[in-house]
Structure 1
Amino acid sequence: MPSVRIAHDLPRAEVRRRMAARADDLVKLIPGGLGRVEHRWEHEDRMDFVIHAMGNSIASTAMVEDAALVIDFELPAGLGFVRPMIEGIIRQAGDKLLLEKR
């Protein structure tokens, strides 16, 4: 399963707060806005989410660690070729998520 680590120097509680406040913005990751995102907190430091777009679903997990936000995702069989692009989008979105208010 591909994984992206995004380093941070924030307390875990602050990372969780920012994730919760901006979780609905995940839909903006989908090109053209044609899709939807479902998310839920599995436990205090783990958010599970699924991105649905163009007939595909990408199951993902975000784990809050002391010095990093770790995002694992599972690509459907036919989408392995877009893995580098998806990793870049996740890294960019994660960096933006952890920034102070926009």
Structure 2
Amino acid sequence: MRIAIPHSLDRDEARRRLRDKAAQAGDKIGGAATVATTFTDDDHMAMAVTAMGYTIDCKVELAEKELVVDVDLPASLGFAKRMIEGIIREKSGKFLT
């Protein structure tokens, strides 16, 4: 699943905010999950989100005007796709605020 979240920050500010807030990712999700983040370069972050017995791998790309989240959603969670997308849209935008 690919989710694009628009932003209006310049790239350097967006990078700074993403890096600063990545360590707080679990708190941003609401404490119901554990989150491990790793930056692969200035504009790419890998995330592993563990909740309710599932680990979901995500790739986050900081583009010029959007934050793009690619989620490797297991087939067994297909029924919750819209709910998960909504949570990602809501919470991922907070990385850049």
Asked if Structure 1 and Structure 2 have the same fold, meaning a TM-score greater than 0.5 normalized by the shorter chain, the answer is yes
Q: Which runs of 5+ in 2 are unaligned?
A: none
- Give 1:34 shift: 4.1
Question: Do structure 1's residue 35 and structure 2's residue 3 form an aligned pair?
Answer: no
Matched residue, 2:87: 89
- The aligned amino acid for 1:61 is K
Matched residue, 2:11: 12
Q: Which runs of 5+ in 1 are unaligned?
A: none
Structure 1 stretches of 4+ moved >3 Å: none
Choose the corresponding residue for 1:64, options 62, 65, 72.
Answer: 62
Which stretch shows the higher mean deviation, 10-19 or 58-67? Answer: 10-19
| Aligned-partner Cα distance in 1 for 2:65–2:39 | 20
| Aligned-partner Cα distance in 2 for 1:71–1:59 | 10
- The aligned amino acid for 1:40 is T
Matched residue, 1:21: 20
Equivalences, count:
96
Give RMSD over aligned pairs. Answer: 1.4
Q: TM-score, normalised by structure 1?
A: 0.85
Percent identity for Structure 1 against Structure 2: 36
